[in-house]
Chain A
Amino acid sequence: MKIAQEIRAGNVVMIGTEPMIVLKAEYSRSGRSGSVVKMKMKGLLNNIGQETVFRADDKMDQVILDKKECTYSYFADPMYVFMDENYEQYEVEAENMGDVVNYIVDGMEDKCEVTFYEGKAISVELPNTIVREVEYTEPAVRGDTSGKVMKPARLVGSGFELPVAAFVSIGDKIQIDTRTNEYKGRA
């Protein structure tokens, strides 16, 4: 048993007879000493998503799932295919990819963690920090090397855009925090 406050995105909890994967968990202080946790969840069996709110001390059964280290292999619409060290392939539905889909690039070598429920691959996580190449951004601004002024940049492969430091140029490789989708620095 865990309390709602301890549940993190990526955890799976049982709601009734339905295993639900938590896509997002947001903690807020209520009045007095109370707190609430808003969770965006999705049923692993029925794929139905919903937003919910719990008392921070509501008790929940967490489901401990199998995980395997894999690398991205290819996309076969609507499935992303990952492969483990034994060349076993696992398919993850596109809508279960979450933010990971922003960083999928053909030939990527990042070690991903694929999560399984009853033998089925249900989600995937990237390392906390990854490196990606900038496909396009406005020209670098001379003189500002502080990193505080940001501008949008588009990544090679996914076309995902995120704010980067003003001095970043096309072709630069940048570090990204995959938990927050934030630019961390030049690689």
Chain B
Amino acid sequence: MPTCDIFCNVIDNYGDIGVCWRLARILAHEHGLAVRLWVDDLPSFVILHPAGDAEAEVQQCDGVEVRHWYGTLAGVQPADIVIEAFACRLPDAYIQAMLPQPPVWINLEYLSAEDWVESHHGLPSPHPQLPLTKHYFFPGFTRQTGGLLLERDLLARRDDFQPSAFWQKLQIDPPAEDTLVVSMFGYETPALPSLLNLWARGTQPVLCLVPDGRMTRQVQAHFGLPGRHFFNGRLEVRIIPFVPQAEYDELLWACNINFVRGEDSCVRAQWAGKPFVWQIYPQDDGAHWPKLQAFLDRYHADTPELAAATQPLWQAWNSGSGAALTAAWGDFVAAHGALTWHAERWAEYLSGHNLALNLLDFCQKTGKIRAFQNSGTAT
């Protein structure tokens, strides 16, 4: 059985560990690899996988060996495939241990829709001092990139999804047909109060579900109460527990519009096939703006008429401008039907480009791992 080490350095929030945990499970469950996931921040991992143990050095979680990553890792035998997520630095002793039998060494990069990604995807990165070569693997939205993480059965489960069981699990009455159901997962933003006020004053009932996280306190502050269930005019807000990854997908499927942030939840919103609003990870020097625009350009390349509904809202949400957000919301909601149609087709288009399969294919092509069939099953 081929082995795989995935290294995850948790920087903040749940983006890094979210992607790594998902990739680890896909490689183990769908492709038969023996996966070790090295995580330097187990409490963050346990939030995504509540059955995990934040103190354990080694634990088996859902078919993946999860290891606490600290120290030099001296004496650890590297796997056949070594994936460092988001250019985290591997310990020197582990790199030295690669020398006798160099593995396929991959740096899994951040997701970006920018054009330059295509020309960088798959390029080698020779170690400046040692006879080892790492390869850069870029997720992306085109055939010239590595694709996106997608579980084999995800879209079928999405299509068979019955919301009633989901609402029951959350202990929430199923919303009325005319209610706009919104999930709200994001970083704090000064635009949030304007949006909540707009919904409260609107004509359509809005149910806003906020998973526990950075926005929780901002919501509570907005209502001036420490509770988890709020009403104001036509708006009902419910703060719900932070859900494991599989349940988060169900939340996205159950809603009409999803506000998402960072990388992993943005990708999941795209698989949900619902209109969404992406809050990109903000960078000090504004480097996130061209990335946001690059995605918008790609997402609406064939639907420029819908870009006029999406772009102003996304820009307002990311800039934190409540006034701009209020102005843009009407067009976005008015286009909801067309945006849903587009989101479904977009998910279908993306589904032909599976990151895990592309990654294993890439590993095979480097000439080091030959034991995979096209189906992705290890032999």
A and B, one complex?
yes
Pairwise interchain contact B120-A36, C-beta atoms closer than 8 A: yes
Per-residue contact bits, chain A 51-68, to B (CB 8 Å; 1 contact, 0 not): 111110011110000000
Q: Any chain A CB within 8 A of the CB of B330?
A: no
Q: A38-B123, A53-B120 are in contact. Are A31 and B128 (CB under 8 A)?
A: no
Pairwise interchain contact A16-B110, C-beta atoms closer than 8 A: no
When C-beta atoms are compared, the residue in chain A nearest to B122 turns out to be: A53
Pairwise interchain contact A31-B112, C-beta atoms closer than 8 A: yes
Bound form: Cα–Cα A28–B119 in Å? 11
Pairwise interchain contact B129-A16, C-beta atoms closer than 8 A: yes
Bound form: Cα–Cα A110–B18 in Å? 58
Q: Any chain A CB within 8 A of the CB of B250?
A: no
A166 to B: closest C-beta gap in Å: 30
Q: A38-B119, A61-B128 are in contact. Are A31 and B109 (CB under 8 A)?
A: yes
When C-beta atoms are compared, the residue in chain B nearest to A36 turns out to be: B120
Pairwise interchain contact A58-B128, C-beta atoms closer than 8 A: yes
Bound form: Cα–Cα A59–B86 in Å? 18
Pairwise interchain contact B86-A52, C-beta atoms closer than 8 A: no
- Kindly list chain B residues whose C-beta atoms are within 8 Å of the C-beta of A34: 86-87, 110
- Kindly list chain B residues whose C-beta atoms are within 8 Å of the C-beta of A52: 123-126
Count B-side interface residues using an 8 Å CB cutoff.
Answer: 27
Residues 14 to 56 of chain A near chain B (Cβ within 8 Å): 14-16, 26, 28-34, 36, 38, 50-55
Bound form: Cα–Cα A33–B128 in Å? 22
In the complex, which of the residues B111, B120, B123, B126 contacts A31, with contact meaning CB atoms closer than 8 Å? B111
- Kindly list chain A residues whose C-beta atoms are within 8 Å of the C-beta of B11: 32
Bound form: Cα–Cα A16–B131 in Å? 6
Q: Any chain B CB within 8 A of the CB of A13?
A: yes
Q: Any chain A CB within 8 A of the CB of B136?
A: yes
Pairwise interchain contact A28-B86, C-beta atoms closer than 8 A: no
Pairwise interchain contact A38-B120, C-beta atoms closer than 8 A: yes
- Kindly list chain B residues whose C-beta atoms are within 8 Å of the C-beta of A59: 128
In the complex, which of the residues A13, A15, A16, A53 contacts B136, with contact meaning CB atoms closer than 8 Å? A53
Pairwise interchain contact A30-B87, C-beta atoms closer than 8 A: yes
When C-beta atoms are compared, the residue in chain B nearest to A50 turns out to be: B124
Per-residue contact bits, chain B 118-145, to A (CB 8 Å; 1 contact, 0 not): 0110011111111100001000000000
Bound form: Cα–Cα A58–B128 in Å? 8
When C-beta atoms are compared, the residue in chain A nearest to B12 turns out to be: A32
Pairwise interchain contact B287-A29, C-beta atoms closer than 8 A: yes
- Kindly list chain B residues whose C-beta atoms are within 8 Å of the C-beta of A55: 87, 125
Pairwise interchain contact B263-A53, C-beta atoms closer than 8 A: no
Q: A14-B128, A58-B128, A61-B128 are in contact. Are A32 and B116 (CB under 8 A)?
A: no
- Kindly list chain B residues whose C-beta atoms are within 8 Å of the C-beta of A13: 128
Q: A34-B86, A36-B136, A50-B124 are in contact. Are A28 and B283 (CB under 8 A)?
A: no
B: which residues have CB within 8 A of A? 11, 86-87, 109-112, 114, 116, 119-120, 123-131, 136, 263, 281, 283-284, 287, 291
7 smallest A-B Cβ distances: which pairs? Answer: A31-B110, A29-B287, A53-B123, A53-B136, A60-B128, A15-B126, A28-B116
26 of the cross-chain contacts (CB-CB < 8 Å) are: A13-B128, A15-B126, A16-B128, A16-B131, A28-B120, A30-B109, A30-B110, A30-B112, A31-B86, A31-B111, A32-B86, A32-B283, A36-B109, A36-B120, A36-B136, A38-B116, A38-B120, A38-B123, A50-B124, A52-B126, A53-B120, A53-B123, A54-B125, A55-B87, A58-B125, A60-B128
A31-B263, A58-B125 given. 17 additional CB < 8 A pairs? A13-B128, A15-B126, A16-B127, A30-B87, A30-B112, A31-B112, A32-B11, A32-B86, A38-B116, A38-B119, A52-B124, A53-B123, A53-B125, A55-B125, A59-B128, A60-B128, A61-B128
